[in-house]
Amino acid sequence: MIERSTVVGAVVYGLTVFCFVVSTLGVYAQETSDQVFAQFARYGADAWARNPMAKVSGEGEACVSCHTSLPYALVEPLLPGSYPAYTDLINNVDNRILSWSDNTAWYSDGKLEEIAALASRPPDVLKSFLDAADSRGVEAIFNAFIRGMHDAYSNTPAQLETQLAFEHMWSEQIQSGPTAGRWNWIEANLIPWEVTDSDLWGASLACVVASVFPELAPQGNLQLLHAALNRAASGDEVSLHVKSAILWCDTETGGRVLESGAAAQIASGLLALQHENGGWALREIGPWIEWEGSEADCCANREIRADSYATGFVTLALARYYSLATDPPRDQLDKAVAWIDVQLANPYPAAPRHNRHGSADSQLPELRDNLYTNAGHMWAFLAKTAYETQTALWARN
């Protein structure tokens, strides 16, 4: 007959081993999840760097993209280890900054003709909606944003390249007329970064990075920028996608952009559109019809589903806005981060989710299938990290 003490001892030992195994597997799974996301983010950066059409625009190196390069620049410094694509990106941006007066705009006529030839299209096919001035405004902001955030993450003073990038950015700012305070912008129907109000999204990024380096923001330029964003925040024609970006920039400036109550109104409007599962759908924060869930969509049930880009960008804006609130909507923000956790644990989509924009992705099927998911997951990772740390990750000490 087995003694009671022997049975108890065996049970205790078994439970101890079980707990150890579960604990070990949990740590391993977490490490694996982090590694999988890092590989996914870096995969996108590598794929874009190979894009032959983007290399034409960037004169040998891929031009900086709103959907891949820009969010990747915010994410890579937060990932474990280091990766060559990030060094290459910063070097590419630096080269464009240092050669600003000599290099050619991304979408000069000659480059557009060369890109069209790569796509086997007529030489003038792109010139009706792409031009040098628009691409110059985009690049000026992206260079300042990426270079400024690089210095901020490194906790260093603004380097020469960053100082020059800010000078270029302000020199491209529109100084008069109905769009004063904004920048020329690309409108190639690439939802949501190259549509009618996307220049205000870009202006919001300029506002964010200017808040990180206020010493590089002349008061006259800053006042024009803040005034333009303040006007846009109350405009019915401005999407909630853009207004979430304005909310983010208002938060980083300590409330210097929006009038009293306007920030709270944007935040509550965004919260009202959160899905039960915790996510947001891009189709519901903008007027676009060529996006999943719209009448023109491919999906059989035409349902509007949450996506990682809308969820990531909105969560980032709300996380920063409510970071100093005494009574934040913790339940809703927790649900958003829980939704993000599920997506980041298995980032490669079983069913690709993207709109019908088919530009430079045509020669890179892996980007065409993952373009929006890649961008969305990077913004979602940034939002999750900002929420969990309750900090501005780019804040300088």
Query: In angstroms, what CA-CA distances link 154 with 85, 158, 211, 297, 308?
Result: 17, 10, 16, 43, 27
Burial 280-292 (b: 16+ CB within 10 A, else e): bbbbbbbebeebb
Q: Yes or no: say if 310 and 291 are a contact pair by the CB < 8 Å rule.
A: no
Centroid of chain to Cα 171: 24
Instruction: Give pLDDT < 70 ranges for the chain.
Output: 1-32, 289-302, 349-371
**Amino acid identity at 250:** D
| Angle, CA 211 vertex, CA 202 and CA 98 arms, to 5° | 65
CA-nearest of 348, 335, 269, 343 to 308 is 343
**CA neighbor of 311 nearest in space, from 348, 346, 285:** 285
Identify residue 217 by its one-letter amino acid code: A
Predicted confidence at residue 194, as pLDDT, reads 92
Output the pLDDT for position 365. Answer: 55
Sign of CA dihedral 346, 193, 261, 149: positive
Query: How many of the other CB atoms lie within 10 Å of CB of 334?
Result: 12
Is the peptide bond prior to 178 cis by the omega test (within 30 degrees of 0)?
no
CA distances from 294 to 13, 287, 303, 368, 373 (A): 57, 10, 8, 20, 18
Partners of 194 in beta bridges: 190
Q: Where are the alpha helices (DSSP H) in 119-239?
A: 132-154, 160-172, 198-212, 219-233
At 44-86, the pLDDT tens digits run 899 889 888 999 999 999 999 998 999 999 999 999 999 999 9
**128: its two tokens:** 């009706």
CA dist., res. 270 & res. 116, Å (int): 39
CA–CA separation, 336 and 340 (whole Å): 6
Contacts of 34-39 with C-beta under 8 Å, sequence gap 24+, read 34/79, 34/80, 35/80, 36/345, 36/346, 36/347, 37/79, 37/344, 37/347, 37/377, 37/381, 38/79, 38/80, 38/81, 38/83
Which residue type sits at 240? Answer: L
51-389: CATH architecture:
Alpha/alpha barrel (1.50)
Q: Which pLDDT score is estimated for 310? A: 94
